[in-house]
Amino acid sequence: MAENERMIDVTDETFERDVLKSNLPVLVDFWAVWCGPCKMLEPTVASIAEEYAGRAVVARLNVDENPETAGRYGIKGIPTLILFKDGEEKDRIIGVVPKERIADMINRHL
């Protein structure tokens, strides 16, 4: 996946600090290197990160490298996008969806 300075990578070790304790809503993209649909969604997620900079955090978590967090949130299929706010899961989208659907999910929690 292309590096984007607006997106952060989170791990099992940093998830609580970077996601659950964030002052802003956090959209987490659960993905894997081998996942074709994840690659299709990546430019959309990068665009969301750009658009919501300062209002929401966009993070990504590699499910193969971080099975503990993926398991805790019951990730069965990827890509899965979960929106966290105040340390809690507020919404989730599974699969490749249009940018507008992701934006609508974030806007409901800003």
Q: Of 10, 35, 46, 81, which residue is the catalytic one?
A: 35
What backbone phi and psi angles, to 5 degrees, belong to 93? -130, 135
Active site residue 35: yes
CA dihedral angle for residue 6, residue 15, residue 21, residue 8, rounded to 10 degrees: -10
Active site residue 51: no
Q: Of 38, 45, 59, 93, which residue is the catalytic one?
A: 38
Comparing CA positions, the residue from 64, 67, 37, 48 lying closest to residue 7 is 48
Q: Which residues are catalytic?
A: 35, 38
